[in-house]
Amino acid sequence: MSTLTTSVLGIEFENPFLLASAPPTASIESIDKAFEMGWGGAVLKTITPDNLEMVEASPRYAIMKEKGKVIGLQNIELLSHKSVQYWVDGIKYLKEKHPTKVIIASIMSPIDRSAWHELVRRLNETPVDAYELNFSCPHGMPEKGIGMAIGTTTEISTLITGWVKDIAIKPVFVKLTPNVTDITRIAKAVERANADGFAAINTVQGFMGVNLDTLEPNLNIGGLSTYGGCSGEIVKPIGFRCVAQLRQCSELPILGMGGITNWQDAAQYIALGSDAVQICTEVMINGYGIIDGLKSGLLKYLEEKEMNDISELKNIAISKITTHEKLNKEHHLHPEINKDVCVKCGKCVKICSESEHQALGVNDNKTSICLDKEKCVGCSLCSHVCPKEAIKMCC
Ligand SMILES: Cc1cc2nc3c(=O)[nH]c(=O)nc-3n(C[C@H](O)[C@H](O)[C@H](O)COP(=O)(O)O)c2cc1C
């Protein structure tokens, strides 16, 4: 029998699925509901000092859709508008009602030691399980010199991690931004400052485009717009890459996230080094109820793979990722076309001929696709564009 229970830095998780710091964790009432519905834990919407001025814009979201389905979100939302006392009381209430659920306090403050210490001191009085330092919000906050402005410099990230570690009585995760050239540089710096783990990724800085009818930005705040944080399915490859890079540079625990919509995404984040995962956008679009499918799907998968728990899945894909230089250049595949499935639409021939190689063609009586092995470089593009999946890459 497999189990979804897991343990990270001595914190016991009922299951590895946490709500990420965002609107689904912005009130005690809603977190209470999510816990009732089966989530393993929640990272609270980022808590700030009460005197930090934050004025929200409206609207604050734009989306990207494909075939009617939301595949990405751009948001320009700021941080929690609730007071520190609200969260102090709320954490106590939630822990008393749900002692087995994990609660992580996300925090952010101006670059002032006493302000960070005041926040941590107040939260130290609660039964919170860990801290997550938000060094990674890409909009609004960097203009005040915080958020991503912290997480893009090793010096300030190190400084603040050190301040928090000086007095935090619970583990400290640093939430990293993908909006840097090398995420491992910041990760190694905060590890040297004694961070206990990483959370990644926060949103990817982006812009959801222009409405060609109105010629206004899609995220239109009275005729003006701004860059924001993108999340959801469209950022998943960036999240996968960042988590794998973090795992390759450190053994610290990782709370992985970015574009998780189902248990398969979560399992991949774990195979790439995550100790648990967080989800935001999919919950914002489809609600807390997605937890049932996440839990049942991952559990069934572990059972099929005869794994006792996610620790046996964790890191399993990491040894497969190396540098381009170390890839075996003798390895060469070529396409094999399943004639029974191929409808001779010619898409593979067209794409191959328009992308340098001209290895695919149509035979003289136009009844089948043929391959010139000498010309084929084994790139695999033809197999990906085939609308009938009739092409397999073979040795
Ligand atoms: C509307 C919105 C608000 C967010 N607010 C916060 C926040 O307050 N603190 C934080 O650390 N991350 C915040 N995030 C980032 C998410 O926690 C998460 O890192 C990101 O959305 C990627 O995960 P996803 O693709 O599952 O949404 C927010 C994301 C969204 C979409």
Cα 348 to ligand 1 centre (Å):
40
Cα 19 to ligand 1 centre (Å):
10
Cα 204 to ligand 1 centre (Å):
10
Q: Is 6 helix (H, G, I), strand (E, B) or coil?
A: strand
Q: Which pLDDT value is given to residue 132?
A: 98
> Residue 151 has which token pair?
């997480």
> Residue 382 has which token pair?
């033809």
Closest residue by CA, ligand 1 atom 28: 22
Q: Which pLDDT value is given to residue 360?
A: 95
Residue of 42, 7, 11 lying closest to 24 (CA atoms) = 42
6-320 belongs to which CATH class?
A: alpha beta
Query: Does the pTM exceed 0.95?
Result: yes
Residues with C-beta less than 6 Å from any ligand 1 atom? 20-23, 45-46, 73, 75, 77, 79, 106, 134, 137, 175, 202-203, 231-232, 235, 257-260, 279-282
DSSP 265-323: HHHHHHHTT-SEEEE-HHHHHH-GGGHHHHHHHHHHHHHHTT-SSGGGTTTTTGGG---
Which residues lie closer than 8 Å to 263 by C-beta, 6 or more apart?
293, 294, 295, 296, 297, 298, 301
Closest residue by CA, ligand 1 atom 21: 231
**Calpha distance 337→174 (Å, rounded):** 49
Which residues lie closer than 8 Å to 93 by C-beta, 6 or more apart?
28
What amino acid occupies position 129? Answer: D
Q: Which pLDDT value is given to residue 295?
A: 98
| 348: annotated active-site residue | no
pLDDT lower than 70: segments of the chain: none
Cα 202 to ligand 1 centre (Å):
6
Closest residue by CA, ligand 1 atom 12: 21
Q: Which pLDDT value is given to residue 322?
A: 98
Question: What is the number of the ligand 1 atom nearest to the C-alpha of 259?
Answer: 25
The CATH fold assigned to 324-394 is Alpha-Beta Plaits (3.30.70)
**Calpha distance 110→22 (Å, rounded):** 20
Could you give the residue range(s) of every CATH 3.20.20.70 domain in the chain?
6-320
- When computed from its CA atoms, the radius of gyration of the chain, rounded to whole angstroms, is 24
Please answer whether residues 168 and 131 qualify as being in contact, where contact means their C-beta atoms are separated by less than 8 angstroms.
yes
**Calpha distance 41→157 (Å, rounded):** 26
Cα 335 to ligand 1 centre (Å):
41
Q: Which pLDDT value is given to residue 393?
A: 97
Question: What is the number of the ligand 1 atom nearest to the C-alpha of 235?
Answer: 25
Q: Which pLDDT value is given to residue 366?
A: 77
